[in-house]
Amino acid sequence: MPTSEAPASSIPIPAPEKIALLGTSGKVVRQADGSLTLFYLAEGPPTHFNTLCRRNSRDHGRTWTDPEPLITLPEDKGLWGGLEALAGADGEAHVWFIHDRGSGVLGASPLGEGEKALMKTQGQILDIWHLKSADKQTRWPMPKRIWEGYTGSFNSVMQMSSGRIVLPFSWLTNRSWYNRGEGLDAFTYHGNFTSTVLCSDDQGATWFQGTKDIKVWAFEAAYAYGSCEPVVIERTDGSAWMLIRTQTGRFYESVSPDGAEWSIPRPTPIISSDSPAGLVRMLDGRMVMIWNQCLRYPYAFGGRQVIHAAVSHDDGRTWLGARECARDPRRHEPPPNGGDFGTAYPFPTVTADNHVAYVTGQGQGRVLLMRMSPDWLEATHAACDMADPEEIQVFGTKGVGLAPAPGLAGKNALRLTKELPGATAGAVWNFPLAAKGRARVKAKFEKGCRAIRLSLADHFSTPFDIEDDLFAVFNLVLGDNATLAGPLDAKGLRLDDAQWHTIDFEWDTIAARRCLVRVDGQGEVALPLLHQTAGVNYLRFVSLAPEADPAGAWFTEIEAWVDR
């Protein structure tokens, strides 16, 4: 039985801090002395990135030195792009680039995920080149080519405790729906990309390729990549773990005893859009993952409007948090017609004070340099700050926004009305992931308001997602006049009295497999679990009015607690 009294709030841990809005993405690495270096390719002529630069920080990523050019890459045989970096165990820095060998991939206006049909990859080249500094990062020789073919990008690198350097990436095969392969491969399709690794056991002097064909099935036949943009991390037992971007709505995983030979990938329960992850090991042994826990949006098979972070105490087998750790600064605008956009492509590193510094985002005005405490992901309580319009998501909707709460001096509330037929009136709020937990909302329903739904979900989808109820974990539907049917009253409980009511949710997705709802501490309505899940971390508010509802409702004092 839920109690009418909510537990006391714990002392809040600061949310992720925005350090800077960057002009281009880059990779932050931690040096042996604890300082941080941001490596990136500076833009020269439009869309030409051929100057490797660095900026340094000695206060754990809060402030940074001015840009320092290190080397200019020659463009007489092709253009450069991409970047991955590592502070090696020998004190030198490693930097990897992609090079188009004059095939014309780079230099033109970039095509984004929404333009796959226009992408021409046959006959084009994106080789991998490697640069290793000398004399303790004071000299920067020209890079050397270490792999030939076509790789879209790379998003991770690690040096294992054995000393082996492992660079994962995906590469273009000759697969197509018309050339799926033989044997059992002919019954399905694995996309036109597959994943692999390059390894070095001599600090980058020589390289060899590990398992060449780490493949996953593709969601559709025309433009699906298949196995794409893998990231790797070493587990505490010395083995390696790989998370693979797919178009299936979740990551796939592969494991390796040595970083070179990898198992056949299997699906994970980690929900994700068609976007890569970032993985880091904290100084205290915890693992942090940053990724887009987004579904049902036409761009990137789920969208990239927000990016999430979670922490694991068991090497990635279970996760806590799933919190929004960055939001697209321009998500309130319609997306661009071309090129990539959003919060994807996280590049995290661990600071000497055991925080995560990360670069994430794509597109002009969208690349963020952030800093986050992993302890924030461990928090068991969250409250919606109604003074912060960024915290509750309402973009792409009509009739929804923050306004002074009527009758509650000094407080704001979420105002939910339906203004335009065919336009969704909805809002989305994120809280710590909980298999078992509680949430509380103070609500005021205006006289004659139309039907409203409050849903608990286990992933992000846009506030205007018209299929969200079909994929929710629990749905509470209040009919016209905010009527709550059920054992509270044989005729239902009508709430549209223009008074403030407290709605409590208490759910258990593991044992009881239900959510109990109370209004003003009375009665009890049981909502069934709609699908198996690791827990819920989103509360959604949606008007169900078919055309218009100027009366609508107000919501404030929104909180959630995790039971552990």
The domain limits of the chain are 24-150, 382-562
Range in 13-22, 68-77, 102-111, 455-464 the model is least confident about: 102-111
Asked if residue 373 lies in contact with residue 361, where contact means CB atoms within 8 angstroms, the answer is no
Give the mean model confidence (pLDDT) for residues 234-257: 97
- Model pLDDT, residue 5: 41
Asked if residue 302 lies in contact with residue 274, where contact means CB atoms within 8 angstroms, the answer is yes
Closest CA to 536 of 478, 472, 477: 472
Q: Strands of 144-147's sheet, edge to edge? A: 80-87, 93-99, 127-132, 144-147
Residue 11 backbone phi and psi in degrees, to 5? -65, 125
Closest CA to 474 of 430, 505, 448, 510: 505
- Model pLDDT, residue 485: 78
Asked if residue 200 lies in contact with residue 165, where contact means CB atoms within 8 angstroms, the answer is yes
Question: Which of the four pLDDT bands, split at 50, 70 and 90, describes residue 121?
Answer: low
The answer to whether the pTM exceeds 0.85 is: yes
- Model pLDDT, residue 124: 86
Question: Which of the four pLDDT bands, split at 50, 70 and 90, describes residue 10?
Answer: low
Distance CA 462, CA 150 (A): 34
Cβ neighbours for 538, distance < 8 A, ≥ 6 positions apart: 428, 429, 430, 431, 455, 456, 457, 458, 459, 460
Does 35 have pLDDT greater than 60? yes
Give the mean model confidence (pLDDT) for residues 204-231: 93
Distance CA 326, CA 332 (A): 14
Structure token pair of residue 71: 């080397």
DSSP 134: B
Question: Which of the four pLDDT bands, split at 50, 70 and 90, describes residue 123?
Answer: low
CA angle 277, 286, 236 (to 5 degrees): 90
Which residue type sits at 97? F
Distance CA 88, CA 357 (A): 18
Q: Taking the mean position of all CA atoms in its chain, how far away is CA 436? A: 23
Other beta carbons less than 10 A from residue 56's beta carbon: 14
Give the mean model confidence (pLDDT) for residues 154-177: 96
Question: Which of the four pLDDT bands, split at 50, 70 and 90, describes residue 48?
Answer: confident
Instruction: Note the CATH architecture for domain 382-562.
Output: Sandwich (2.60)
- Model pLDDT, residue 38: 97
Give the mean model confidence (pLDDT) for residues 396-409: 95
Question: Which of the four pLDDT bands, split at 50, 70 and 90, describes residue 429?
Answer: very high
Does 225 have pLDDT greater than 70? yes
- Model pLDDT, residue 486: 64
- Model pLDDT, residue 8: 42
Question: Which of the four pLDDT bands, split at 50, 70 and 90, describes residue 3?
Answer: very low
Distance CA 450, CA 419 (A): 12
- Model pLDDT, residue 488: 53
Asked if residue 193 lies in contact with residue 174, where contact means CB atoms within 8 angstroms, the answer is no
Give the mean model confidence (pLDDT) for residues 270-299: 97
Structure token pair of residue 549: 């509802």
Q: Which residue has the higher pLDDT, 388 or 264?
A: 264
Give the mean model confidence (pLDDT) for residues 176-189: 93
pLDDT tens digits, one per residue of 339-395: 899 999 999 999 999 999 999 999 999 999 999 999 999 999 999 989 888 899 999
- Model pLDDT, residue 106: 86
Does 436 have pLDDT greater than 90? yes
pLDDT tens digits, one per residue of 482-530: 998 765 555 678 899 989 999 999 999 999 999 999 999 987 899 999 9
Q: Taking the mean position of all CA atoms in its chain, how far away is CA 561? A: 22
Give the mean model confidence (pLDDT) for residues 75-89: 93
Burial of 436 (0-12, 13-18, 19+ CB in 10 A): middle
- Model pLDDT, residue 2: 37
Q: Return the bridge partners of 379, or none.
A: none
- Model pLDDT, residue 153: 84
Does 116 have pLDDT greater than 80? no
CATH class of 24-150: mainly beta
CA angle 326, 363, 221 (to 5 degrees): 95
Q: Phi/psi class of residue 298: alpha, beta or left (left: φ > 0; alpha: ψ in -120 to 50)? A: alpha
- H-helix or E-strand spanning residue 377: helix 375-378
